[in-house]
Amino acid sequence: MADVNKRQRTDQDGTGDVGPSGAEPSIDVQSAMPRYYAKLFPHKHMAKWLAYGNDSKHAQADSHYFNRREFCFTLNGDIFVRYQAFKDAAAMQEAIQRRCPAKIDIGPVYSANPQDRHKFGAAFQPLERELVFDIDLTDYDDVRTCGSGGHICAKCWPLMAVAVKIIDAGLRSEFGFKHILWVYSGRRGVHCWVCDPSARQLSDEQRSSVANWFALYKGHEEGRAKVAFMGAILHPAVGRAAETLRTAWKESILPAQRLLEDGPKCDALLRYLPEEGLVEVIKKKWASRAVAARCEREDISLVRWEVLEAEVNGRLTEEKARSKGGGNYKVIGSLERCLNEIVIAHAYPRLDMEVSKKMNHLLKAPFCVHPKTGKVCVPLDPDTVDEFDPEGGVPTVASLLGELATAASAGATAAADEPWRATRMADAVRTFERCLLDGLSATNKEELAGRTRVAVAVGQMNLDF
C-alpha cells in the first residue's frame, strides 16, 4: 500500500498563496480537475516519455520498466500519497482520472515495483532518475523591485529566461547532454529534466557534482551576494555565461528592475566596486548636469550603468599603465572582475541545490495544474523562452475548458481520445514533442539496439538473417 500522509500543502515551487495579482482563479480548480484529466491531460505523451522505449515490442524492451517508476499524488484534503506505480499507460491514466490528484510528482525508477518495496528491505533502491533542476524567482527577491514571494510578471521573467539559456547551454556544451526538457512550474519558477541515458544513471555524488558546476551563486553575506569564481580570468564556460548575462542585463533586467535608481538596490549594487573612491567618483558623475539630462530622456539605470562601466574601465586602464608590467595586481584583478561580478551576482541562475543532488527527490510533473493559480505547467522552448508570457500567455484549466466548450459548440472535431488537440494544449504538447520526445525516440531505439548487441555478444540471443 502506498504511503499516505496528511500535511500542509506546499508545492515544489510555492507556498500555496494566491497568484501574482492576488486574484483567485476564475473557476474552482479542484472541481475542474476531473474534466481536465479526462479531456486535456496528455496521458499518452507522458507515458511514452517515461517508458523510454520500453513500451515497445522490441525483444530487449524491459516490460517491467514503467511499473518500477514512482509517482506521488497529492489528493484533495492535503493527502500525500507516495510510491504509486502503474503497469502501463492505461493503468496510469485510469488512476489519475479516478483519483484526480491536485498535483502529480515524479520520482525515480526503483529496483522493484515501489508498491512492493517492503518485501525487499535494503535491496529496494533507486536505479535511475532524470537529472533535475529547480529555479524559483523567490531566490531573486534581493534583486526584484517589481514584487516578491509568489509574484511573477513580464519584468522579472527575464531572470528565469536567462537562467534557462545558461543552464541549457552548459548542460549541452559542457556535459554533452541532448534531451533536455524545460517546464514552467505553474507559478513563479522553472523546472529542468535531463533525460539522456547517461544523465538518468548518475549517482547522487555525480548529480551533486553537476549541480555544483553551476553553483556560482553562494548566497548572501554582509549585504552582497557571494560569487564563487576567483581571479580576473574566467573559466570559458563562465565567460560564455557572462556574455549571455551581460546582454540580458542591459536589454531587460537592469531597466525592468530599475536597479540603479536611487535607493537600497542601487546602494547594494555599488558595494561590488572595489574602491570607495571609485564609488564617490561615479556618484558625482551621475549627479552631473550632462548625465542628469540624459536620464530625463533615457532609462536612468542604463545611463548610470554606462557611466559606471566607463569609470571602471578607465580606472583599470590607468592602473595597468601605472603598473608598467608590475604594480598592484590585487587592485587590477578587482577592477577586471567587478563588472562581471555585479552581473553574475544579480542574474546568474540560483538553483535549489537539494532538488538536483538526490536521485529519489520528487519533482512536479509537466502538464500538472497549479492548484492556486490554475495555470498549466507547460513545456518551454529554450530558443523562444524570452517570448514566454508567464501572466497572460499560460493556458489555465479555466481557459482550456472554455476552448474545449467553444470547439464543441462550433462542431470542431478532434480524436475522441485526444480532445485537447482542439485547445491551446496542442501548442504545449507540440513543444513537448519538439523539444524532447522527437529526439528522445531515436535515442531510445539506439539504446534497445545496443542491448541487442550486448545480448548477442554474451550468447543470450541469436540474430536470424
Residues classed as catalytic: 70, 134, 136
Return the closest-CA partner of residue 172 out of 247, 222, 241, 220: 241
- How many other CB atoms are found less than 10 A from the CB of residue 261? 14
- Residues β-bridged to residue 351: 135
Return the closest-CA partner of residue 163 out of 355, 341, 344, 368: 344
Say if residue 458 is exposed, middle or buried (CB neighbours under 10 Å; 0-12, 13-18, 19+). exposed
**Would you state the cell numbers that stand for residue 177, as one nine-digit string?**
547532454
CB proximity list for 263: less than 8 A, separation 6 or greater: none
Return the closest-CA partner of residue 30 out of 327, 267, 374: 374
**Would you state the cell numbers that stand for residue 180, as one nine-digit string?**
533536455
3-state secondary structure of 186: coil
Cα separation, 416 vs 90, whole angstroms: 15
Chain centre distance of CA 327: 45
CB proximity list for 134: less than 8 A, separation 6 or greater: 12, 13, 185, 189, 190, 191, 192, 351, 352, 355, 356, 363
Query: Cβ(296)–Cβ(182) under 8 Å?
Result: no
Query: Cβ(406)–Cβ(435) under 8 Å?
Result: no
**Cα dihedral: 358, 360, 363, 365 (round 10):** 140
Chain centre distance of CA 107: 17
The identity of residue 56, as a single letter, is: S
The identity of residue 259, as a single letter, is: L
**Would you state the cell numbers that stand for residue 58, as one nine-digit string?**
522490441
Residue with cell 534583486: 143
